[in-house]
């Protein structure tokens, strides 16, 4: 219903929702009038008695509504002088747009991303309800810099049974994503006197920079068909960063003999091995190989993340550390941002304990396995293009024919087609004269969008090489 009032010489058309509660209905009507300028700054509102009479409301209701709007800063009041509309400096600015964060992607084939359109919203909501209702208030207070014990307990069980990680809650540290974790860990290792670390070449360039910011020099570790050449770790290096279950980006697993080699290196030199198990959940031909950490738990830092299973938005990752590194890493975490946000930690713990996390991953595994096959079928029709790596993970590396456009030219054509995709070159420590290729993320798109994304990619590739 709508009302017209003329008390205090002010005409105003107020839209009161018949459905809404009387007080909140009046509040929203007044807010709307102030926000769209019908009640300009300085306007004196009618007396509570007058408006109550006009609108057929109790005076108490009107007074409560006025006071609420005073609290919200829409109205001001001075004893004896009634209620007036305030000047709101930023009222206009609220609608100001901000520069978008990332370029427009029409076809998402970015590596390392899961299909977030399959986020288990229902399960997440249900778990959130369980966490919040009847929660002990302390969950809203300051948290443990090491991470919530509930999540560390759940992860200890989960990582043990699914990845063969030797994990106890007191060895686990939760960080706001792997990127923060690897940055803090690098700082801790630098604080221990380690000056340089060996990194897979090619490898993830973003983390290479994070490790350098942490204070470690990085030396390249060549990668071949058996994974990283861990036999070539230079004497000076005190740490080795590896992706043993599915080397990023080549997709080859670390050969069993090399797993033994690098663990022997760590035992004999006291060096630290960092195992980035970024996509260990996704193996499509058989059960995943267990984590390297299981072989030498006192020398390997195991790193896992929810970014590749649920989504990067949660900023949740975990490290399982040799006990002697835990206190330093917890201190570094505390210095950086005190502790990781609590609610997502508790919800994830709930999902893991109830096995909804396993179910979600299992369903995703079936979808991604299909998508990878679709990709391989397309490649088979493109002579000269080779797929590398085992059936696993969220991406495949394609290398390109020697004749034809360069990787850079291809990436330009992909961008023109709105394709989000990565090149191989930037992942080499020294990009010159290295094999060129494309990293195709087959998980990032939604089920519906994936076929069109493949079409767009292979339109570019076919026109480039035929």
Candidates 25, 169, 249, 304; binder of its own copies (CB under 8 A) is 169
In sequence order, what are the residues at sequence separation of 6 or more whose Cβ sits closer than 8 angstroms to the Cβ of residue 265? 230, 233, 240, 271, 273
Phi, psi of 208 (to 5 degrees): -60, -45
Pairwise CA distance, residues 66 & 88, whole Å: 17
Candidates 98, 225, 268, 466; binder of its own copies (CB under 8 A) is 98
Q: At how many degrees (to 10) do helices 121-132 and 356-380 cross?
A: 160
Q: At how many degrees (to 10) do helices 450-465 and 356-380 cross?
A: 30
User: What residues from 360 to 399 belong to the interface with its own copies (CB under 8 A)?
Assistant: 361-362
Instruction: Point out which span in 39-47, 147-155, 368-376, 428-436 binds its own copies (CB under 8 A).
Output: 147-155
User: What residues from 213 to 242 belong to the interface with its own copies (CB under 8 A)?
Assistant: 213
In sequence order, what are the residues at sequence separation of 6 or more whose Cβ sits closer than 8 angstroms to the Cβ of residue 147? 172, 173, 174, 175, 318, 339, 340, 345
Site size for its own copies (CB under 8 A) = 93
| Residue whose token pair is 């090149």 | 423
For the chain, what's the residue count? 466
Q: Judged by CB, which is closer to its own copies: 211, or 230?
A: 211
Q: Judged by CB, which is closer to its own copies: 206, or 462?
A: 206
User: What residues from 195 to 214 belong to the interface with its own copies (CB under 8 A)?
Assistant: 210, 213
Interface with its own copies, residue 90, by CB under 8 A: yes
Interface with its own copies, residue 128, by CB under 8 A: yes
Pairwise CA distance, residues 51 & 170, whole Å: 63
Pairwise CA distance, residues 423 & 427, whole Å: 8
Q: Judged by CB, which is closer to its own copies: 91, or 192?
A: 91
Pairwise CA distance, residues 154 & 434, whole Å: 43
User: What residues from 102 to 121 belong to the interface with its own copies (CB under 8 A)?
Assistant: 102, 113, 116-117, 119, 121
Pairwise CA distance, residues 181 & 319, whole Å: 8
User: What residues from 33 to 72 belong to the interface with its own copies (CB under 8 A)?
Assistant: 68, 71-72
Interface with its own copies, residue 328, by CB under 8 A: no
Q: Which tokens belong to 455?
A: 């079409």
Candidates 144, 275, 276, 277; binder of its own copies (CB under 8 A) is 144
Interface with its own copies, residue 82, by CB under 8 A: no
* Residues 274 and 303: beta-carbon distance below 8 Å: yes
User: What residues from 278 to 297 belong to the interface with its own copies (CB under 8 A)?
Assistant: 287, 294
Candidates 38, 358, 418, 435; binder of its own copies (CB under 8 A) is 358
Interface with its own copies, residue 133, by CB under 8 A: yes
CB of 70 to its own copies, least distance (A): 8
Instruction: Point out which span in 12-20, 93-101, 372-380, 457-465 binds its own copies (CB under 8 A).
Output: 93-101
Instruction: Point out which span in 52-60, 179-187, 238-246, 368-376 binds its own copies (CB under 8 A).
Output: 179-187
């Amino acid at each position: 219903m709508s009302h017209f009032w003329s008390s205090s010489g002010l005409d105003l058309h107020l839209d009161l929702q018949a459905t809404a509660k009387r007080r909140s209905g009046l509040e929203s009507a007044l807010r709307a009038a102030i926000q769209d300028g019908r009640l300009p700054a300085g306007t004196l509102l009618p007396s509570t008695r007058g408006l109550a009479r006009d609108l057929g409301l109790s005076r108490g209701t009107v007074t409560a509504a006025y006071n609420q709007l005073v609290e919200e800063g829409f109205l001001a009041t001075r004893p004896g002088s009634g209620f007036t509309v305030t000047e709101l400096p930023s009222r206009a600015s609220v609608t100001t747009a901000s520069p978008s964060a990332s370029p427009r992607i029409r076809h998402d084939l970015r590596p390392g991303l899961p299909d977030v359109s399959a986020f288990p919203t229902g399960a997440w909501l249900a778990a959130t309800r369980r966490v919040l209702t009847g929660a002990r208030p302390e969950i809203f207070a300051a948290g443990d810099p090491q991470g919530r014990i509930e999540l560390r307990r759940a992860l200890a069980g989960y990582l043990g049974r699914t990845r063969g990680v030797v994990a106890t809650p007191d060895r686990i540290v939760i960080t706001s994503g792997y990127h923060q974790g690897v940055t803090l860990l690098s700082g801790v290792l630098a604080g221990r006197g380690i000056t340089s670390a060996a990194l897979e070449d090619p490898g993830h360039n973003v983390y290479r920079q994070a490790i350098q910011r942490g204070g470690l020099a990085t030396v390249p570790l060549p990668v071949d068909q058996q994974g990283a050449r861990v036999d070539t770790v230079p004497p000076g290096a005190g740490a080795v960063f590896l992706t043993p279950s599915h080397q990023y980006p080549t997709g080859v697993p670390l050969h069993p003999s090399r797993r033994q080699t690098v663990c022997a290196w760590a035992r004999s030199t006291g060096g630290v091995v960092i195992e980035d198990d970024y996509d260990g959940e996704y193996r499509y031909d058989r059960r995943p190989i267990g984590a390297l950490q299981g072989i030498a738990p006192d020398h390997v830092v195991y790193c896992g993340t929810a970014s590749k299973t649920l989504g990067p938005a949660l900023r949740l990752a975990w490290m399982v550390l040799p006990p002697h590194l835990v206190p330093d890493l917890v201190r570094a975490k505390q210095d950086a941002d005190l502790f990781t946000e609590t609610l997502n930690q508790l919800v994830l713990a709930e999902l893991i304990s109830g096995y909804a996390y396993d179910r979600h991953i299992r369903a995703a595994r079936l979808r991604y396995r299909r998508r990878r096959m679709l990709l391989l079928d397309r490649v088979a029709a493109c002579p000269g293009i080779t797929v590398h790596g085992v059936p696993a993970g969220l991406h495949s590396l394609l290398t390109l024919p020697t004749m034809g456009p360069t990787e850079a030219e291809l990436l330009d054509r992909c961008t023109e087609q709105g394709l989000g995709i990565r090149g191989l070159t930037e992942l080499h420590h020294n990009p010159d004269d290295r094999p060129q290729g494309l990293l195709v993320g087959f998980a990032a798109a939604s089920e519906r969008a994936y076929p069109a994304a493949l079409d767009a990619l292979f339109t570019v590739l076919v026109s480039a090489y035929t």
